[in-house]
Amino acid sequence: MTVHNLYLFDRNGVCLHYSEWHRKKQAGISQEEEFKLMYGMLFSIRSFVSKMSPLDMKDGFVAFQTSRYKLHYYETPTGIKVVMNTDLGVGPIRDVLHHIYSALYVELVVKNPLCPLGQTVQSELFRSRLDSYIRSLPFFSARAG
Amino acid sequence: MAIFSVYVVNKAGGLIYHLDSYAPRAEAEKTFSYPLDLLLKLHDERVLVAFGQRDGIRVGHAVLAINGKDVNGKYTADGKEVLEYLGNPANYPVSVRFGRPRLTSNEKLMLASMFHSLFAIGSQLSPEQGSSGIEMLETDTFKLHCFQTLTGIKFVVLADPRQAGIDSLLRKIYEIYSDFALKNPFYSLEMPIRCELFEQNLKLALEVAEKAGTFGPGS
């Protein structure tokens, strides 16, 4: 099991943070384009899912998987979106994504007066805490470094 | 019963077959006196609740029936505009049924081609080499399973999140498609499927899968 990468978007589609661990393939476009494509896909999936759903939804879209990876999605009522790509063996990780939001983003970025909201997070503390939190996850594999 | 619907999408993203096997009812009927304490608005030829969530009536729900008679889009059964009818104090008290708007066939076509592109983007954004498109999409109310054949046809099944055995059902649908649509001399490739045997066998396969896969809400 392994974690590939993590995206953090705000409600306007700005990528607040991106980091990757075991990513073997790039999308073949610039990083900025990739963020836009990812946000656009999630935006469309959200509207797709809300139309398709036979019942009223609570959490809405949670995850999707392809033959090689699984994308986990978590959205707060304020529109912050946490997206994590892992391999297929990882089960529901809503609590992990919620922890990234509540214990890392809110504590280290929102409550930090030196971090302007709505743009890429510059805080070194946030980056390193996030990195060590992800590395400590039970499904973060050590085999690829 | 826990398989909601089946879609077949051709390689160009066009919807060529659709079947709704089971639609859970989420409807609320209530009798109102004048003035109506909900804010309604017109959206996509339907009357939706814009504000005033209460008693099982939620924002986004559409007006489905007035006094027990189904409405037809934004018109009542006898051809008057719904908003006008509900704005007239003489028509009160009135009983209105609200529920999730049902998908029109136009919307289904649109959603099918939308999924076609999401499928492609899903494989482009893969962090791993050689990934397929979206095979399973999970929400809290349903799971969407997709199987793409080597020839590019996509079979999509919407089912309850707890329903098991969808993968084998998708293969079975492919088999039924090959046997009863492709081998039908009157069927032309990539075109909407109108084959009686295909439909019969598909319904049979859904029934079997629902019984074999466990724990639907009503089974």
pLDDT given for residue A59 in this prediction: 86
- Highest-scoring range by mean pLDDT, A129-143, B44-58, B123-137: B123-137
Is A58 an 8 Å CB contact of chain B? yes
Inter-residue contact B128 to A24 (CB < 8 Å): yes
d(CA A64, CA B121) in angstroms, rounded, equals 12
B4 — pLDDT class (breaks 50, 70, 90)? very high
Q: Say which DSSP state A121 is in.
A: -
Q: Is B188 exposed, middle or buried (0-12, 13-18, 19+ CB in 10 A)?
A: exposed
Specify the CATH number for the domain of residue B85.
2.30.42.40
pLDDT given for residue B27 in this prediction: 83
Q: Return the SS3 of A97.
A: helix
Is A51 an 8 Å CB contact of chain B? yes
Q: Could you tell me the residue range of the domain that residue B117 belongs to? A: 3-23+104-211
B chain contacts of residue A24, beta-carbon cutoff 8 Å: 127-129
Please answer yes or no on whether A62 and B138 come within 8 Å at the CB atom. Answer: yes
pLDDT given for residue A47 in this prediction: 93
Residues B142 and B56 in one domain: no
Identify which of A53, A56, A60 has the shortest CB distance to residue B58.
A56
Query: Is B219 a domain residue?
Result: no
pTM score above 0.95? no
The residues pairing with B137 across neighbouring beta strands, listed in sequence order, are A64, B144
Is A53 an 8 Å CB contact of chain B? yes
**Domain ranges across chain A:** 3-136
- ipTM, 2 decimals? 0.89
Counted across chains A and B, CB pairs separated by less than 8 A come out at 119
Task: Domain A3-136: give its CATH code.
Answer: 3.30.450.70
Q: Say which DSSP state A49 is in.
A: H
Identify which of B58, B117, B122 has the shortest CB distance to residue A64.
B122
Q: Nearest-CA neighbor of B112 among B19, B13, B193, B23? A: B13
d(CA B213, CA B219) in angstroms, rounded, equals 10
